[in-house]
Amino acid sequence: MNEGIHFGRLEGELSAASSPVFSRAIVIGGSMAGLLAAKVLSDRYNEVIILERDELPDRPANRPGTPQDHHPHRLQDLGKSILEKLFPGWTQDLLAEGAYDREGKEMHLISPLAALQFPYEKDEGCSRPLLEWVIRRRVMAEPRIRVLQGHEAVSLRTKTAEDKVTVTGVRVKKHRGSDVEELQADLVVDASGRYSRLPTWLEEMGFGKPETEILHARLAYSSRYYRIPEHLQNKYSTVLIDGDPSLAEGSGVFSPIEDGLAETTIYRAGGHYPPVDPDKYEQAAAELINPLLAEILAQLEPVGNPRGFRVPECRLNHYESMPAWPIGLLVIGDSICNFDPIYGQGISVAAAEAAELGKALEEVGSATDAGWELKLLQRFGTIILPAWWTIVVADLRWPGVNYEGPLSRRGIEFCQKYLDIVRKQALQGGDMELFGLLMSVQGLDKRPSALFGEEAVRSILIRCKQAVWLEDELEAGETLGVFLERNLPAFDPAS
């Protein structure tokens, strides 16, 4: 079949690499999720094509397909460890490109409960464009991977046999063009992100649309770059000032990145929008619950005007619960679930999904193994659920934030109150072990059951001298175990 687009690959180019099992995979979208998926797929597919709408920059730079890349990004430890396995030494690449070495610099965590200061552990500060460029450069160096820039997927190619639908490739066209060409593939992975057209494509194929949970976060943040003077360049690693969300108080972040610059962000949820007017930006920083950010900004030189970004809603598509699924199709990253970006979970969840994809491919004997794609999406669900539940619980503290979905309101309110107790003990009580547990669960390094399991809740409340509180929260005759089972998700795969 004439596929229209050819790369002229020679089989001999791959002789030094591991032997692939499958022929071709196509990844829709050159996002971080798409890059990580392509890297994993290249171990098992003879050819991996990334379809990317943008013409990609040769150096770290903002691009239209990532409108949030002007704003701060961070990786949880889970994501960092997976990236290190996929791209050994990638943090040295960041440092070689001017990333900020945070190790030993001052970390300030300021909240209504306490103000903490401690030296930062080993880490690198960088912009999203630099992070993506470093990973993209590694991916594009893989001999089996090609990036088709300036092209977008129009629809999926399919065939039907014995009542089974198989995705056989993608119809593509140049961005803003009209001529449609076809690419054949054994596997298509949708990594096109928050605005994925997969729900529509599935409905057109007769599979219906997935059930969806929606968090109407109405989040907005305003970010600005500053040049750091020499006398401050080795002082701060990060400054995080958290307001009380129940009072609609804003939060702010200061974080040095590459080339002597710092990113600053002021953010709120629930429809309260921080300013993008340069004359009002630093005044907004001064209105935070602590003056430290404003004091720092007064010593810095602004670089450009503030830029805003709004996230009206976050959405979880339950593809894993669909009764039937096409052969040869997967979805990953924000195309499944897009998170409130403030918590820095999106890239780490995508990395964990890519790692799980790698495990699944090792288990698949051939491209025709029945049902492995849907089973993998179910495994993705166990990765996504803890992160999704965390942001729902956190963001519903803001007035003006609403949630549509099956999560128990009683369970959410219970966990909000419980977390208030835990934070007070950790921050005001100086319980750093408990603080570390809280951060590990929020950072996806530990399952939520380490904090919200029955045994954990009882022991932590005793530790916080708040065991009586539990009696007031439970109904007459109700046990904690029954309450948690009915009102919290089943986080652990075995449960």
Which stretch of DSSP H or E encloses residue 251? strand 251-256
| pLDDT tens string 331-366 | 999 999 999 988 889 999 999 999 999 999 988 865
Give the rounded percent of residues in the chain with a pLDDT score beyond 90: 84
Q: Are 256 and 262 in contact (CB under 8 A)?
A: yes
pLDDT at 9 over 70: no
What pLDDT was estimated at residue 177? 81
Q: Could you tell me which of 335, 349, 365, 400 has the C-alpha nearest to residue 202?
A: 335
pLDDT band at residue 1 under the 50/70/90 scheme: very low
Range with the poorest average pLDDT among 16-30, 34-48, 87-101: 16-30
Rounded CA-CA distance 164/159 in Å is 8
18 pLDDT band, cuts 50/70/90, is low
Average pLDDT over residues 437-461: 93
Residue 10 structure tokens? 């020679």
Q: Which of 21 and 10 is assigned the larger pLDDT?
A: 21
Q: What is the pLDDT of residue 14?
A: 35
Q: Which residues pair with 315 in a beta bridge?
A: 214, 338
Tokens of 72: 């701060």
Q: Which amino acid is at 395?
A: D
Give residue-wise pLDDT tens across range 316-325.
999 999 999 9
Cβ burial 362-375 (10 Å sphere, 16+ → b, else e) = eebeebeeeebbbb
pLDDT of residue 93: 97
Write out the two tokens for 378. Answer: 């179910």
Task: Write down the pLDDT at residue 22.
Answer: 87
- List the one residue out of 259, 277, 237 whose CA is nearest residue 130: 259
Q: Given this model, what pLDDT does residue 332 score?
A: 98
432-460: average pLDDT: 93
Give this prediction's pTM: 0.93
Alpha-helical (H) ranges within 337-371 are 346-363
CB of 222 closer than 8 Å to CB of 91 = no
Q: What angle do CA 165, 171, 177 make, to 5 degrees?
A: 155
pLDDT of residue 230: 92
**What is the rounded distance in angstroms from the CA atom of residue 18 to the CA atom of residue 358?**
14
Q: Where are the domains of the chain?
A: 11-59+66-71+133-210+317-391, 101-126+218-311, 408-487
Return d(Cα 288, Cα 422) in angstroms, integer.
24
Instruction: Scan for tokens 């051939």, then name that residue.
Output: 366
pLDDT of 212 strictly over 90: yes
What is the CB neighbour count within 10 angstroms for residue 159? 12
Asked if the model's pLDDT at residue 392 lies above 80, the reply is yes
- Please compute the mean of the pLDDT values over residues 124-133 and round it to a whole number: 95
CA distance 191 to 32: 9
- Is the pLDDT reported for residue 257 higher than 70? yes
**102-119 tens-digit pLDDT:** 999 999 999 999 999 999
What is the per-residue pLDDT for 493? 61
Would you state the CATH architecture of domain 101-126+218-311?
A: 2-Layer Sandwich (3.30)
What CATH number belongs to 11-59+66-71+133-210+317-391? 3.50.50.60
Indicate if the pLDDT at residue 7 is higher than 70: no
Q: Is the pLDDT of residue 208 over 90?
A: yes
Q: What is the pLDDT of residue 473?
A: 95
